Amino acid sequence: MSYLYAYSLVCTRAFLIDLYHTVAMCPFADLLNHSSSSAHTSLSADDFVCHKCGSLRECEHDIPSTSGIVRRLEHLSEKELKRLSTEPDTVDLRIDKRRIRKGEEVLNSYGDNMGDGRLLTEWGFVEEDSTGGVISFSVDELGTGAQKWMEMVQAGEMGWADQMVHDDEQLIGPSPEERPLGLTLDTEGVMSVHIFAVLLLGQTTQNDNDTVKRSVEELRNAWSASEEEDFEGPLEMTRTTFAAVGEAYKLLETRLASLNRSDLRMDDLYEMRDVSGRTGRSEQAQADAQSLSDDQPLQRMALSVLVNERRLLETTKEKWSDLLACIVCSEDI
């Protein structure tokens, strides 16, 4: 009990700082409640630190570039570079003073477009007006390619992924605008290219940007071709892309299996959420629904989140499964 209590205290209050320091407790900042739509404050840290030693300034792990400024810091303006050389690395709570009226509660944002599921699992609540719905994955879930992907991000090589044109009909695409570099499944079931990149990098010894780009192109073309009316298949696919498609499918399957109450049928979940004395529920759902009376809006909200996430994961998994049925590997595995 005491361990779980302490663990939940940390989990519900810690902030993600950067790739090196990961999460940290930030006294005072954690007092504020969250709002996605009308936050007055935001916690910010320079997040382009070296992921090996945490240095904000140039360090021995940096990749030199022709501009004379190391690649990790290349995107900064001259003014910002000067600031780095004189200021220590800090975490700041920035306040937008103009927007706070006297007597008004000061609200913080725990992150943009967090998605209901994440708010619920990490902080234990869902906003009443929330329409998020984006599903996030952590690098730990994505396996061995994460390290290589982080190095590529650090070297400024993955920017193109978020510049891609978003297409609802595709399997992969850019992260949602509010979540650059996000490891996300958006509300249309489009998986971010970054997830696919991590899965792919786990399947190959190549770790150059071109390999990822080629593979992304190959996947998108294969999907489009398989969707053509006169498609007769099967499509040949290179070994790495083929393996990454299998990994993407497995990822969705694993997340689905890990959802709360994955033992229940979708219909039962709907019934539990919309409990209103209707008959025809399975016995299990009836038993569960008895504890979900009308004065428990939070539980109902949690069920809504669960139902939405499960539906999105299931429809997405089906698309990847359709693709798997149309492709063959063109090389020896």
Interface positions with Zn ion (CB under 5 A): 50, 52-53, 55, 59, 61
Q: Which of 133, 129, 122, 100 is nearest to 35 (CA)?
A: 129
Query: Please, where are the H alpha helices in 187-296?
Result: 193-201, 209-227, 239-258, 266-273, 283-289
- Least distance in angstroms from the C-beta of 90 to Zn ion: 18
Q: Transcribe 111-126 into DSSP letters.
A: STT--HHHIIIIIS--
> Is the Cβ of residue 50 or residue 198 nearer to Zn ion in the bound state?
50
> Is the Cβ of residue 55 or residue 260 nearer to Zn ion in the bound state?
55
What is the number of alpha carbons within 13 Å of residue 231 lying toward its C-beta? Answer: 17
- Least distance in angstroms from the C-beta of 153 to Zn ion: 15
> What is the 8-class DSSP label of residue 262?
T
> Is the Cβ of residue 20 or residue 270 nearer to Zn ion in the bound state?
20
> Is the Cβ of residue 60 or residue 332 nearer to Zn ion in the bound state?
60
Q: Which of 204, 202, 235 is nearest to 218 (CA)?
A: 235
Q: Transcribe 42-98 into DSSP letters.
A: EEEE-----TTT--SS--TTPPP-TTSS-GGGTTS-HHHHHHHHHSPP-EEEEE-GG
Tokens 């619920």 belong to: 120
> Is the Cβ of residue 46 or residue 288 nearer to Zn ion in the bound state?
46
- Least distance in angstroms from the C-beta of 320 to Zn ion: 37
Pairing outcome for strands 91-95 and 41-45 = antiparallel
- Least distance in angstroms from the C-beta of 50 to Zn ion: 3
- Least distance in angstroms from the C-beta of 36 to Zn ion: 34
Q: Which of 233, 190, 183, 238 is nearest to 214 (CA)?
A: 238
> What is the 8-class DSSP label of residue 241?
H
> Is the Cβ of residue 61 or residue 261 nearer to Zn ion in the bound state?
61
> Is the Cβ of residue 53 or residue 225 nearer to Zn ion in the bound state?
53
- Least distance in angstroms from the C-beta of 21 to Zn ion: 13
Q: Transcribe 3-38 into DSSP letters.
A: HHHHHHHHHHH-EEEETTTEEE--TTGGGSEE-SSS
- Least distance in angstroms from the C-beta of 57 to Zn ion: 9
- Least distance in angstroms from the C-beta of 33 to Zn ion: 36
Q: How far is CA 36 from CA 17, 102, 178, in A?
A: 19, 21, 11
> Is the Cβ of residue 113 or residue 154 nearer to Zn ion in the bound state?
154
